[in-house]
Amino acid sequence: MQQAKARSGADIAIAVMSGPFLQRGEPALISRWRRTKMALEGGVDLVVELPYAFAAQKAETFAAGAVSILDALHVDALCFGSESGDITQFTAILAHRRANQAQYEAHVRSLVRTGISYPKAQAQALQAIAKDTTLDVSQPNNILGLHYLQALQSQGSQAAPLTVRRLAAGYHDQTFATDTIASATSIRKQLANGDISAIGNVVPASTLHHLHEYYHTYGTFHDWERYFPLLKYKLLTMTAAQLASIYEAEEGLEHRVLDCIRGAVSFTDLMEQLKTKRYTWTRLQRLCVHILTHTTKEQLKDVQSSPYIRLLGMSRQGQSYLSMHKKKLKLPLVTHAKAYRHPLFELDHKASAVYYSILPEPLRSLMLKQDFVQHPLRYDETPKAYS
């Protein structure tokens, strides 16, 4: 966050944050409201939500959704973390691809036919046409970065792309890279063991505080294993035809899932049975999220850019920025969930309802209600208080 602000020279920082379910097809550790507080206390001025229709999605759609929201908010720059850290590497490889678009696409198709996953095929095809560029396209954050740049271009955004190099920690690292730097995966792993204090050195103090508070109040973090009883129940009441209507249930995957579910004793067990070279782990996890939320192909047909901006929280500077730009925002700003209607927003509510389903009553009912009535959080930095 500090690096992003320094490089861009920005007055304010905006974070587009996923709702209840994340890009890798996992539930967020804690509620959107707690994560909003973490972001505000970590220096973000405006926290807006990436709708479910873009959050639990392949990198291309995920990036397109985020960019559409930032562009609607008139940002001057978009900053992302990457393994590379050199923005010229990104622009160079995209130029190469544009110059060889047909060849690239044909190559991707032929690689997919050999049985490897789509993201892997994209990476190999890119590498083939851009041999003299130096971007390592096998790295997940580099790939996501390429999608951001591409979305900026295709949406005609004026925002300048910037990137900050990720230090030490690879996204998938299971253990902490150094005493003070850790990957999201390694942090989740520690928390799944119930060991909150173990991450004290690798997250800001306020983040640690909110994790403690959430765990204390709700008795749990949200991870896939907690949702497995619901997922199994859900699948055991579905026919193959119903399952085939679910988003990302392609190419007979529905039969594979139904064959595996009866005997699966945990989410990990199910995933290990489902996994093949053809499908990435995250792709299969996202399918499970869509099954859990009963999100159909029909509902996510042709989603390309967000139809709204859901505001979750703001600092005083963030609030001023919004006041100044209120009249020229390119999308409706949703500050009160109850007063806004849109089919994609309905999906956000459904995803929330599913997300809270693992909480005991009356907490579940209370959280369901909060999402409808909660106004955006207003954070004041100097007394460090919410109003």
| 353 scored as a contact of a second copy (CB under 8 A) | yes
Pairing status of strand 377-380 against strand 385-386: antiparallel
Among 91, 245, 317, 357, binds a second copy (CB under 8 A): 357
Q: Which is nearer to a second copy, 185 or 242 (CB)?
A: 242
* CA atoms of 40 and 44, how far apart (whole Å): 5
The annotation status of 170 as a binding-site residue, yes or no, is no
CB of 298 to a second copy, least distance (A): 12
Among 215, 368, 370, 378, binds a second copy (CB under 8 A): 368
Span of 78-86, 122-130, 233-241, 328-336 interacting with a second copy by CB under 8 A:
233-241
| 350 scored as a contact of a second copy (CB under 8 A) | yes
The annotation status of 142 as a binding-site residue, yes or no, is no
Size of the site for a second copy (CB under 8 A): 27
| 262 scored as a contact of a second copy (CB under 8 A) | yes
Q: Which is nearer to a second copy, 102 or 265 (CB)?
A: 265
The annotation status of 81 as a binding-site residue, yes or no, is yes
| 237 scored as a contact of a second copy (CB under 8 A) | yes
Tokens for 68, please give them: 């559409």
| 341 scored as a contact of a second copy (CB under 8 A) | no
Query: Cα-flanking dihedrals φ and ψ of residue 268, to 5°?
Result: -60, -40
Site string for a second copy, 54-73 (x = CB under 8 A): --------------------
| 369 scored as a contact of a second copy (CB under 8 A) | yes
Site string for a second copy, 276-305 (x = CB under 8 A): ----------------xxx-----------
CB of 377 to a second copy, least distance (A): 23
CB of 354 to a second copy, least distance (A): 6
Span of 43-51, 231-239, 276-284, 303-311 interacting with a second copy by CB under 8 A:
231-239
Q: Which is nearer to a second copy, 9 or 343 (CB)?
A: 343
Among 129, 164, 230, 333, binds a second copy (CB under 8 A): 230
| 265 scored as a contact of a second copy (CB under 8 A) | yes
* CA atoms of 345 and 66, how far apart (whole Å): 15
| 264 scored as a contact of a second copy (CB under 8 A) | yes
* CA atoms of 31 and 39, how far apart (whole Å): 13
Q: What is the 3-state secondary structure (H, E, C) of 231-294?
A: HHHHHHCCCHHHHHCECCCCCCHHHHHHHHHCCCCCHHHHHHHHCECCECHHHHHHHHHHHHCC
CB of 272 to a second copy, least distance (A): 14
Q: Which is nearer to a second copy, 233 or 386 (CB)?
A: 233
CB of 267 to a second copy, least distance (A): 10
| 240 scored as a contact of a second copy (CB under 8 A) | no
| 226 scored as a contact of a second copy (CB under 8 A) | no
Among 229, 325, 340, 381, binds a second copy (CB under 8 A): 229
Q: Which is nearer to a second copy, 256 or 364 (CB)?
A: 364
Pairing status of strand 309-315 against strand 160-165: unpaired
| 232 scored as a contact of a second copy (CB under 8 A) | yes
Binding residues for a second copy (CB under 8 A) = 228-230, 232-234, 236-238, 262-266, 292-294, 350, 353-354, 357, 361-362, 364-365, 368-369
The binding site for ATP consists of 81, 141, 166
